[in-house]
């Protein structure tokens, strides 16, 4: 057991320890402050300092979170911008290809008109009937308000001249023309009896419109085929 002796009577013993020293200093400071207003100001400043410290820490954490979110958003924006550029380039290539295909179709659309016309007219021609002339009257103008598609073969108006020794064969010829998927608006322009080689025959003139048939009626074959 240790006994402490105070060699200076009349003086108080200093408290030991850091906590006790701080407490003593605060008490001493409070004893010195005699003005209540000054004490209130000090308390307010202490409170403000604490609030500022708390706000600074909270704002710093929020700023760090917002900064991280901003970096993620910027990365996503860059990826989105890259995708948009790739999409725009692909659309540009697509539009260019469509334009080229349209030009090729516009040049090529009239190439097989006459083979189809002659093929359909020949199929519809009955016995004892022959043709004297097949000619084109030009393209048919589209209906009011309709826009002609440059990739589609336009309607061609045709005149067919012929003769037959049997009028029933002529009516059969008209029906078979109307049944063709490539021909429409079959109309008889003229029909009369004439003498040819000392025999009476029926001379006729027919007007038809050539149209692009449905794809179900179009049959394609290769231009060249290897033979083994």
Q: What is the pLDDT of residues 153-201, one digit of tens each?
A: 678 899 999 999 998 999 999 999 999 999 999 999 999 999 988 899 9
Instruction: State residue 188's pLDDT score.
Output: 94
43-60 pLDDT, tens digit per residue, is 677 777 777 777 777 777
Instruction: State residue 134's pLDDT score.
Output: 93
Which of 72-86, 109-123, 136-150 has the weakest average pLDDT?
136-150
pLDDT category of residue 71 using cuts at 50, 70 and 90: confident
Is the sign of the CA dihedral 22, 26, 27, 28 positive or negative? positive
Instruction: State residue 98's pLDDT score.
Output: 87
Instruction: State residue 132's pLDDT score.
Output: 94
pLDDT category of residue 102 using cuts at 50, 70 and 90: confident
**pTM of the model as a whole:** 0.50
> Which residue matches tokens 């860059």?
78
In this structure, are residues 111 and 132 in contact, taking their beta carbons and an 8 Å threshold? no
Instruction: State residue 44's pLDDT score.
Output: 72
113-141+153-214 is classed CATH 3.30.470.20: no
Length of the chain as a residue count = 228
In this structure, are residues 93 and 100 in contact, taking their beta carbons and an 8 Å threshold? no
Q: Determine the 3-state secondary structure of 45 from DSSP.
A: helix
The enclosing H or E element of 164 equals strand 156-164
Burial classification of residue 212, based on how many CB atoms lie within 10 Å of its CB (0-12 exposed, 13-18 middle, 19 or more buried): middle
Region 34-45 average pLDDT:
65
Residue 33 has pLDDT above 60, yes or no: no
In this structure, are residues 190 and 225 in contact, taking their beta carbons and an 8 Å threshold? no
> Which residue matches tokens 């708390």?
54
In this structure, are residues 189 and 205 in contact, taking their beta carbons and an 8 Å threshold? yes
Higher pLDDT residue, 47 or 69? 69
Tokens of 98: 């469509």
Higher pLDDT residue, 15 or 72? 72
Q: How many CB atoms lie within 10 A of CB 149?
A: 14
Pick the closest to residue 117 from 104, 133, 94 (CA basis).
133
**Partner residues linked to 135 by β-bridges:** 159
């Amino acid at each position: 057991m240790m006994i402490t002796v105070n060699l200076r009577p009349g003086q108080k013993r200093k408290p030991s320890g850091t906590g006790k020293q701080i407490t003593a200093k605060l008490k001493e400071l409070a004893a010195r402050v005699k003005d209540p207003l000054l004490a209130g100001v000090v308390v307010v400043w202490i409170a403000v300092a604490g609030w500022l410290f708390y706000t600074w820490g909270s704002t710093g954490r929020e700023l760090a979170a917002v900064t991280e979110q901003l970096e993620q958003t910027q990365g996503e924006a860059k990826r989105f911008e890259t995708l948009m550029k790739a999409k725009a380039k692909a659309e540009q290539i697509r539009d260019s290809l469509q334009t080229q295909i349209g030009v090729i179709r516009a040049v090529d659309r009239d190439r097989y008109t006459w083979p189809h016309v002659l093929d359909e007219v020949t199929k519809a021609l009955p016995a004892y009937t022959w043709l004297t002339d097949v000619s084109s009257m030009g393209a048919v103008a589209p209906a009011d308000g309709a826009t002609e598609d440059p990739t589609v073969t336009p309607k061609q108006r045709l005149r067919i001249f012929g003769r037959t020794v049997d009028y029933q064969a002529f009516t059969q010829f008209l029906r078979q023309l109307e049944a063709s998927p490539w021909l429409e608006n079959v109309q008889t322009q003229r029909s009369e009896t004439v003498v040819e080689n000392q025999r009476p025959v029926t001379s006729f003139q027919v007007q038809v419109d050539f149209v692009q048939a449905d794809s179900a009626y179009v049959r394609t074959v290769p231009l060249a085929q290897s033979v083994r």
